[in-house]
């Protein structure tokens, strides 16, 4: 079971050099859909990070295929203290409720102390059509109140396409 996950950003050459240097790692080289010049390297190896500038996460829950095939849908939530427990419970329920559209899912907490209240849902799906279908499910709709941006709620999402 995955307990740690890290990622870093960089140019294709820098990220490819990391992949070549650590062939034993379970890397996923991804390109952000909205920001097509942004490349991210996810490390699913469950080992201490090898990245010089990592974003590190503790995995609070995981389900299904550990290969995380297809696209990755990254959702980051930071809510005020009153809603933190509700969000935590909602994300736990989503992880516990397997969905046939989802290849893999992880519920994460950012390890950086300044951002430790940030919770992340990372969902792997085959393609954008399945993502759009998953967004219409009742399970996904449980997140509606947390995806609005306001002074008490910071939300960010990104679709990452595999490059390898």
pLDDT in tens, 146-163: 988 777 788 999 999 999
Q: What percent of the chain has pLDDT over 90?
A: 62
| pLDDT value, residue 65 | 61
pLDDT top residue among 117 and 121: 121
| pLDDT value, residue 36 | 67
Distance set, CA 125 to CA 22, 69, 70, 135 (Å) = 26, 7, 5, 11
pLDDT in tens, 9-21: 999 999 999 999 9
Place of tokens 């009153």: 82
pLDDT top residue among 69 and 47: 47
Q: What is the mean pLDDT of residues 143-148?
A: 88
Q: What is the mean pLDDT of residues 54-79?
A: 87
| pLDDT value, residue 72 | 94
| pLDDT value, residue 116 | 65
| pLDDT value, residue 2 | 85
Does the pLDDT of residue 35 top 80, yes or no?
A: no
Does the pLDDT of residue 34 top 70, yes or no?
A: no
Q: What is the pTM of this model?
A: 0.91
- What is the DSSP-derived secondary structure letter of residue 113? G
Distance set, CA 14 to CA 46, 83, 98, 106, 119 (Å) = 21, 39, 36, 26, 28
Does the pLDDT of residue 114 top 80, yes or no?
A: no
pLDDT in tens, 76-111: 999 888 888 999 999 999 998 878 888 889 999 988
Rg (CA), the chain: 15
Pairing mode of beta strands 27-32, 71-79: unpaired
């Amino acid at each position: 079971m995955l307990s740690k996950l890290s990622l870093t950003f960089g140019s294709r050459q820098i990220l490819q050099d990391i992949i070549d240097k650590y062939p034993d790692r379970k890397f996923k080289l991804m390109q952000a859909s909205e920001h097509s010049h942004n490349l991210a390297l996810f490390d699913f190896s469950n080992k201490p990070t090898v990245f010089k500038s990592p974003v590190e996460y503790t995995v609070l829950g995981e389900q299904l295929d550990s290969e995380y095939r297809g696209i990755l849908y990254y959702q980051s939530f930071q809510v005020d203290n009153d809603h933190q427990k509700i969000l935590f419970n909602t994300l736990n329920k989503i992880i516990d409720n397997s969905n046939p559209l989802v290849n893999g899912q992880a519920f994460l907490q950012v390890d950086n102390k300044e951002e430790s209240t940030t919770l992340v849902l990372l969902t792997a799906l085959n393609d954008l059509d399945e993502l759009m279908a998953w967004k219409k499910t009742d399970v996904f709709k449980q997140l509606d109140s947390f995806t609005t941006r306001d002074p008490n709620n910071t939300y960010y999402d990104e679709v990452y396409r595999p490059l390898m």
